Chain A
Amino acid sequence: MEGGIFLTAYVDPGAGGLLLQIIFGGLAGLAVVIKLQWSRIAGFFRRKSR
Chain B
Amino acid sequence: LTRFRRNPASFRDPDASVFHHGDRVLRAFQNAGKKRYDEFSASGLPEKWTAGGSLLPSSPLSDEERERFAPGAPLLLEHPRIPFLSWCYEWSFEMLRAAALLELDLFLEALEKDFLLKDATPYNVQFRGTDPVHIDVTSFARREEGSPWLAYGQFCHLFLNPLLLSASTGIPFTSRLRGSLGGISPGETRKLLPWYRRGIFLDVTLQAWAQRSFSRSDSSLSRLKKEAPVRRESLARTGRRLRRIIHRLRRPNPGRGWSRYEDEKIYSAEGAEFKDAFVDRWCGSFAPSTVWDLGCNTGRYSRIAARHADHVLAVDASSETIDELFLALRGEGNRTVQCLVMDLADPSPARGWAGREREAFTDRGKPGLLLALALFHHLRIAAGIPLRESLPWMAKRAEKAILEFVPKEDRMARRLLQWREDIFDDYTAEGFESELKKSHRILERAAIPGTGRVLYAVEAEGQKSRR
Contacts and interface: CB of A to CB of B under 8 A. Distances in A.
B434 interface: no
B150 A18 contact: yes
Interface residues of A, number: 30
Contacts of A25: 148, 228-231, 234
Nearest to A37: B213
Interface SS, A side: helix
6 contacts: A3-B212, A7-B216, A17-B210, A19-B224, A21-B149, A28-B228
Contact of B211 (A15, A22, A24, A33): A15
Interface string B78-109: 00000000000000000000000000000000
Nearest to B152: A17
Contact of A21 (B152, B209, B216): B152
A50 B226 CA distance: 34
B228 A32 contact: yes
Interface in A1-46: 1-3, 7-8, 11-26, 28-29, 31-33, 36-37, 39-40
A13 to B, nearest CB: 6
Contacts of B231: 25-26
Given A15-B211, A16-B186, A32-B227, A21 B217 contact: no
B163 interface: no
B157 A21 contact: no
A42 B217 CA distance: 13
B31 to A, nearest CB: 27
A13 B157 contact: yes
Given A17-B152, A22-B148, A7 B211 contact: no
Contacts of A12: 153
B228 A16 contact: no
Contacts of A8: 215
B182 interface: yes
B354 interface: no
A20 to B, nearest CB: 5
